[in-house]
Structure 1
Amino acid sequence: MRRRVLSVLALILMAACGGPGPDFANPLAIEGGGPDATDLRLNDPLVIPPTNTLPQPTPGGANLADPG
């Protein structure tokens, strides 16, 4: 029984190594060459506040981190 289970497991593992076609060699390849480096949008630089204090929350008030 153990030999039969190992044989089936070996067949499953060997079948998993095969591929559907020539593109299977690199499954993580990006079609179209990837993103365009000239289309990058840069964010504003990170600003460090002068103090570590946080404002007191106001129930029903505006979210200071969300300007919209």
Structure 2
Amino acid sequence: MDANQVGYVHEPTFEDTKAILDRAISFKPKRQIIILFSGGEPTLSPYFLDAVAYASKSVFIEF
């Protein structure tokens, strides 16, 4: 399926992505959260690495 067939493709901004991640952190009670960047080819997004870095600094990634 071609996403462009619908005439509109939603691409969230980096600020949108940060707001979603911040909201996920605020959920109570605290629980395990898994973040998945998907839809098309997310690694081609100009802010993909910034979003991954923000998620890792926001306590999403445990080593």
Tell me the TM-score normalized by structure 1. Answer: 0.24
Q: Which has the higher helix share?
A: 2
Higher relative contact order (CA 8 A, sep 6+): 2
Q: Which has the larger radius of gyration?
A: 1
